[in-house]
Structure 1
Amino acid sequence: MKLLHSCVAAAALVAFSFSAQAETRVTYKSAKTSSSYYQMAVQIAEAMKEASNGDIIVTVEESQGSVQNVMEAAVRPGNYVFTTPPVLVKLAKGGKAMFEKRANPKLGEIRALFPIPSLTMHFVVGEDSGIESFADMKGKKILIGKGSFGAKEGAKYLKLFGLEGQVELADVELSNAVPALKNGQIDGFVTAGSYPAPNVIEAAAGTGVNVLSLSDDQIAQTKRTKLVIPAGTYAGQDADITTTSLPVVAYTTTQMDDDTAYALTKSFWDQKAKMGKGAAWWNGVDKDLLSNISGKIHPGALKFYDEVGYTITDAQR
């Protein structure tokens, strides 16, 4: 009997060990919990678990920002995945700008996996505001917020387009933009986020708005990536909106093995349509966004892209 118990215990231990080995754990460093990008991370974690039948477990961690995410790539062991605009990875590898005093050769081991929704600029104005172009903002009251990427970009664009000091900037929190627009306290607001943006959906459905398009010349001045929001994305939007964006990509490092990188990348693209049914921002992600990746893509991810025939440049290999 003792021998039988010993055999059963040994078999259970072997089974447990095999299960532990089969399970792959990944840390996904995202954004603040209040951000839409944190919600995306949770959706990705759920999608990875489902696609792998529980073999890939993704733990989502809150972050204070993309710079922190990049810097941790130099010290985090194992399967570390993080999100950031590609431009920050480029600066980090070159030891430039905010990374000048924090240069680390380990940052050269960062590799891309897949694109996620871009930060998309929205210049939202009330239908009855009389604003049909940027020039029409002169003398109007616009909310751009404070401290965020959208606020900084909004101020930058006003300066670029000759509107600095010509627009009254509303002293209202961006979270109150929709009621402020509805109550006539402001003529419009600036927001940046994945599209369709929840606050723009709310404003379009409740009060009626126009989202301004930028000309090719204006986009060139901003030095940002062109993005087209398809007609019908927002209520009352009959035409495409041409605006700017800041691409965002999920990255890892060379510490991740090829099989794990392949599984994560394949699971992401396989589950993207399903995720899009639950959150429309995934519908704005397609293979064309791969062109926004500067630097190298992880070999495991490359294997998937080559299998499905997605275009990858020599510089990305």
Structure 2
Amino acid sequence: MKPFNLLAGAVAALAVTATMAVAETRVTYKSAKSTSSYYQMGVQIAEAMKAGSDIIVTVEESQGSVQNVMEVKARGGDYFFTTPPALVGLAQGGKAMFEGKGDPAFDEIRALFPIPSLTMHFVARADAGINSFADLEGKTVLLGKGSFGAREGEKYLKLFGLEGKVKLAEVELSNAVPALKNGQIDAFVTAGSYPAPNVVEAAASTGVSVLSLDDEQIAATKRARLVIPAGTYAGQEADIVTTSLPVVAYTTTKMDDETAYQLTKTFWEGKESMGAAAPWWNGVDESLMGNIAGKIHPGAIRYYKEAGMALTDAQM
């Protein structure tokens, strides 16, 4: 009887393993460079999915949002990615960087959930006498090179009449905090989810003032308004009103409804735990749903209806 029992046990073990393999869903998440905060967010999302569902997420490094969107053409239903909603619209319209590169696959892109926005920070040394954009005139400002924050910062200087009136520092953004501390620069511009690590460091070690924009300035930028709550950074006694570029997790209609539902449900249910580990998740709430332009995946819609979250007709 013992050989039979051993055989039966082995068969049973194989059956359990096979069942687990069938139940387990594997997907790939593509967001940003491995050195960025958005890659770290991807790792946190993968951990949340492992803890709260049967979905196993592989986080894949990316060179940026345009690449993420372009890969939709070759990827299957196991692919989800991050990008600003504006890029999805450009891809679907074959405009800007997608001109001549259009593909029917772009029309099948569907949203899942919002993630922390790219938030603009104009950070000045506390003793530099900079309390408004006008005060930047004659000062040395670090914009960095090639990043969204650098391009956006340059645009804002032009919009607010400061083009040619500030000294642009030839310093890498990675050196912004020491450059601010030693007086090499008076201010720097950075974009990322808040609280931004380099702003946290600067506020704690040097003391900073982060500039707010008024309603007219925000309207001129054509970006979304965002409020960084008082107390986010050391010494910050009032809310900071600034702009942001929304970022959203997307997939395509190739993903089955159940997987999209589980991804969305587990994200929202795990967000509080993620926020306890990384404060940038605390800036994500139902209000960001309005930043999702275009359609949401039917599986995700199922969750939002269950959760009582309002969706627009365009998102349905």
Question: TM-score, normalized by length of structure 1?
Answer: 0.97
1:48, CA displacement in angstroms?
Answer: 0.5
The alignment-based identity, stated in percent, is 72
> Which digits, 9 at most, give the CA deviation of each residue in 1:45-104, with x for residues without a partner?
00100012xx21000000000000001112101220100000001111111111111100
Matches within 5 A, 1:203-242: 203-242=202-241
Q: Tell me what 1:36 maps to.
A: 37
Q: Tell me what 2:132 maps to.
A: 133
Which AA in structure 2 matches 1:155? Answer: E
Q: Tell me what 2:123 maps to.
A: 124
Secondary structure of 1:236's aligned partner: coil
Equivalent pairs, count: 315
Which AA in structure 1 matches 2:42? Answer: A
The whole-number CA distance in structure 1 between the counterparts of 2:251 and 2:19 is: 26
Q: Tell me what 2:177 maps to.
A: 178
Matches within 5 A, 1:14-93: 14-52=15-53, 55-93=54-92
Q: Tell me what 1:156 maps to.
A: 155
Which AA in structure 1 matches 2:73? Answer: A
Let me know the Cα RMSD of the aligned residues. Answer: 1.2
The whole-number CA distance in structure 1 between the counterparts of 2:13 and 2:131 is: 70
1:17, CA displacement in angstroms?
Answer: 2.2
The whole-number CA distance in structure 1 between the counterparts of 2:266 and 2:227 is: 26
The whole-number CA distance in structure 2 between the counterparts of 1:11 and 1:274 is: 36
Which AA in structure 1 matches 2:294? Answer: G
The whole-number CA distance in structure 2 between the counterparts of 1:10 and 1:182 is: 67
Larger CA deviation: 191-200 vs 91-100:
91-100
Secondary structure of 2:116's aligned partner: strand
1:10, CA displacement in angstroms?
Answer: 4.1
1:167, CA displacement in angstroms?
Answer: 0.3
The whole-number CA distance in structure 2 between the counterparts of 1:78 and 1:105 is: 15
1:18, CA displacement in angstroms?
Answer: 1.5
Identify unmatched segments of 5+ residues in structure 2: none
The whole-number CA distance in structure 2 between the counterparts of 1:288 and 1:311 is: 10
1:133, CA displacement in angstroms?
Answer: 0.7
The whole-number CA distance in structure 2 between the counterparts of 1:293 and 1:313 is: 10
> Which digits, 9 at most, give the CA deviation of each residue in 1:203-250, with x for residues without a partner?
111111100001111111111111010111111111111100000000
Q: Tell me what 1:289 maps to.
A: 288
> Which digits, 9 at most, give the CA deviation of each residue in 1:178-221, with x for residues without a partner?
11111111111000000000000111111111000011111111
The whole-number CA distance in structure 2 between the counterparts of 1:10 and 1:205 is: 60
Whether the aligned pair in 1 keeps the contact of 2:141 and 2:168 (CA below 8 Å) is: yes
Residue 99 (structure 2) pairs with residue 100 (structure 1): yes
Which AA in structure 1 matches 2:40? Answer: Q
Secondary structure of 2:164's aligned partner: coil
Question: TM-score, normalized by length of structure 2?
Answer: 0.97
Matches within 5 A, 1:200-279: 200-279=199-278
Secondary structure of 1:121's aligned partner: strand
Which AA in structure 1 matches 2:49? Answer: M
The whole-number CA distance in structure 2 between the counterparts of 1:235 and 1:91 is: 39
Identify unmatched segments of 5+ residues in structure 1: none
1:7, CA displacement in angstroms?
Answer: 4.7
Larger CA deviation: 2-11 vs 197-206:
2-11
1:15, CA displacement in angstroms?
Answer: 2.6
The whole-number CA distance in structure 1 between the counterparts of 2:229 and 2:20 is: 46
The whole-number CA distance in structure 2 between the counterparts of 1:13 and 1:183 is: 64
1:9, CA displacement in angstroms?
Answer: 4.7
Whether the aligned pair in 1 keeps the contact of 2:77 and 2:253 (CA below 8 Å) is: no
1:30, CA displacement in angstroms?
Answer: 1.2
